Structures are given as structure tokens and as C-alpha cells.
Amino acid sequence: MDPVRTAPAGASARGTVAEAALARPAPESRPRSALGALAGRVAYWLPVFAALGLFAQVAFLGLRPALREAQRLASAAEVLEARRDANRAQVQAYELQLVARRDPIYRERQDRLRRAVRSEPPGS
């Protein structure tokens, strides 16, 4: 090697990358103000506290009313199902009456019964 040159022949004039990194101070070693350090710590822990706050909101203010509402809706669902079943039975009865009224034989029987009731003397 040449006594004037300290670096190998392929190295740059400023030195190696490792020497340059060691020459610069690391970001952690720079002096920070107390306010900057506090802001950094708060920013670091902020996601954790935000998640805890959201969990507390759901657990104490959101979960209990939601469970009560679920119970109320379950009981209302039973009432609605009973109403629906009654309405379906009524619709089926109406449909049977419509089918019967479309039948010509049924209509003729009904007409005969009406004429017979009209022609009977009262009180017999």
C-alpha cells in the first residue's frame, strides 16, 4: 500500500460508509428538551390508550344497553311471530273462501239456502 493513502484502492476519498455512520451522532444521542421527550412518550403510548378507551366505552356504556336491547327485541320477536302466525292463518281462511266462492256448485248451494230461508214463514 501507498503510505499516503490509508484506504484501499477501491474506497472513496471520504472513507467507508461505516466510518461515515459512526461520525454522525445517532438521533437518540442528541439532546432533547423535556417537552420533546414527553411528547415522544405520549405519541408512543397513544395507540394503546386509545384502544383501552374504546374498550372501556364499549364495555361500560355500549355493551350493557346493547344486551338489554337484544333481550327486548327477543321478546318482541316472539310477539311478532305469534301475530304473523295468526295473520297467515287468517289469510289461508280468506283464500279458502275465495276458492269456494269461485266454485259454481258452491254458489248454487248458497243461493238455494238463501231462497229457502227467505221463503220460510217467520217463527217456524
Model confidence, pTM: 0.39
Query: Can you tell me which residue has the cell 295468526?
Result: 86
- Residue 46: the pLDDT is 95
Q: 96 vs 20, which has greater pLDDT? A: 96
- Secondary structure in 3-state letters for 20-81: HHHHCCCHHHCCCCHHHHHHHHHHHHHHHHHHHHHHHHHHHHHHHHHHHHHHHHHHHHHHHH
pLDDT, tens digit, for every residue of 45-93? 999 999 999 998 888 888 788 889 999 999 999 999 999 999 999 999 9
Three-class SS of 67-118? HHHHHHHHHHHHHHHHHHHHHHHHHHHHHHHHHHHHCHHHHHHHHHHHHHHH
Confidence at residue 61, expressed as pLDDT on a 0 to 100 scale: 83
pLDDT higher than threshold 80 for residue 8: no
Show the CA angle centred on residue 20, arms to residues 18 and 25, nearest 5°.
105
Q: Tell me: the pLDDT tens digits for 21-54?
A: 556 655 565 667 888 889 999 999 999 999 999 9
* Residue 1 pLDDT greater than 80, yes or no: no
Angle value at C-alpha 77, between 75 and 83, nearest 5 degrees: 115
Output the CA angle 53-57-59, nearest 5 degrees.
Answer: 115
Does the structure show a pLDDT above 60 at 10?
Answer: no
